[in-house]
Amino acid sequence: MNIATPPDLPANLPAKMPESIAAELGRPVRLKTWSLIVSVFGDAILPRGGSISAASLGEIMTVMGVEAGAVRTAISRLAADGWIERHREGRASFYRLAPQREAEFRRAARRIYAGPAHRPGKQGESWGDWVLVCQPQEAGDTALPEGAIRLTREWFLIDLAGIDPAAGEAPGADAMVYRGAFVQKPDWFLKLVAPPSEAAAMAHLLAVFAPLEAVIRDQGVPRPLEALALRCLLIHGWRRIALRLSGLPQGLLPEDWPEAECREGVARLYRQLLEPSEAWLSDAARCEMGRLPAASTDLFERFS
C-alpha cells in the first residue's frame, strides 16, 4: 500500500511535532482529551506502577498541545465517571486509573499490543477450524460463545479449535453451521469482517506518522518527553482501530486488507520511541513515592 504523507506536517522534528500529529489524528473529529488521558495511563503509566502526579501528567499533555484547563476538566469528568482516582499529599495531586478501568485496559491490551503474527494466515488458505454459524437469537439475547465474532444479529464466526463442547460454549442445536462455506468469499461477508472504513482509518494512521518515521531514520529519535508524547499518540490512534478489528486469520480477509502492514508499522515505530520515552518517565515523572517504579517486564514484550 502506498501511503501519502499529509502535506501540512513538518518535514523536520521541531518541538511542536507532537502537537501537529495530535491535530492530524483528530481530523475530521478533534481528539477528546479525556480519551487521550486514558491512553496515556494505559500505555505509559500502568507499566510504571499506575500513579502519576498532576504536574507530570500536565507536562505530557502540554507537549501534545492540550491546555492545562482542558486537562483539569477532563480529569474531573474521568473522576466523576469512575475512571480516575485522585488524591492529594500536601499541595501535590496524584492520579491513577480506578481498579475496574485498569482491568479493562489490561484485557484490551492483549489486542492492542498483539504482535504482527496475531492469528496469522496465508492467502487462499482453507477455513480450517473457523466456521460460519447462523443461529436464531431471542429478543435481547446477545450472548455468543467465547471467541465468537458477530457479523449480524444471527450470523457469527467461531473458531471451533478454541471451543470445549462440554462447557456448553459450542453453537446450539438449532444453529446452522457452514464449515468452509465459501470457496470465494462473497462481498457481503468481506464488508462485514473488513469494513472499508477501517482500511481507510489504518491508512490515515500510517500517513500521519510517516513523517516521524522519516525524521527518525534521518536524524535519530526525538527528545525523551517528545518521544513519550508521540508514543502515546501512536497508541491512542492505533487503540481505537485495533479494538474494532475482527482479528481473523488473513486467509479469511480481503487480499489487500492492510491490518498486518499497519500493525507492523505501529510496532516498528513504537519500538523506536520506547527507550527515550521510558527515560523521561524514569528521570522526570513523579508519583507519591517520588520517582516512578521501574517498568514491568511485559512492557518490553509488547508487539512481540
Residue 162 has a pLDDT of 56
Cis preceding linkage at 28, omega within 30: yes
C-alpha to C-alpha distance for 288 and 101, rounded to whole angstroms: 20
Residue 40 pLDDT level (bands cut at 50, 70, 90): very high
Q: What share of the chain is helix, strand, coil (3-state, %, to 5)?
A: 50, 10, 40
Could you read off the pLDDT of 2-37 as tens digits, one per residue?
333 343 444 444 557 888 899 888 877 678 999 999
Domain boundaries, the chain: 17-119+193-301, 130-180
Q: Is the dihedral of CA 181, 187, 192, 195 positive or negative?
A: positive
Burial of 277 (0-12, 13-18, 19+ CB in 10 A): buried
Residue 144 pLDDT level (bands cut at 50, 70, 90): low
For 38, phi and psi rounded to 5 degrees? -60, -40
C-alpha to C-alpha distance for 106 and 298, rounded to whole angstroms: 11
C-alpha to C-alpha distance for 45 and 42, rounded to whole angstroms: 6
C-alpha to C-alpha distance for 289 and 271, rounded to whole angstroms: 28
| pLDDT exceeds 50 at position 194 | yes
pTM for this structure?
0.81
| pLDDT exceeds 70 at position 212 | yes
Task: Kindly list the distances between the CA atom of residue 212 and the CA atoms of 13, 67, 112, 271, in Å, as whole numbers in the listed order.
Answer: 8, 23, 21, 13
Residue 145 has a pLDDT of 64
3-state SS record for 235-301: HHHHHHHHCCCCCCCHHHCCCCCCHHHHHHHHHHHHHHHHHHHHHHHHHCCEECCEECCCCCHHHHH
CB 249 within 8 A of CB 48: no
Residue 7 has a pLDDT of 38
Could you read off the pLDDT of 61-80 as tens digits, one per residue?
999 999 999 999 999 999 99
C-alpha to C-alpha distance for 162 and 130, rounded to whole angstroms: 10
- Among 5-14, 17-26, 108-117, 217-226, the least confident range: 5-14
Q: Report the top-level CATH class of 17-119+193-301.
A: mainly alpha
| pLDDT exceeds 50 at position 122 | no
Which residue type does 203 have? A
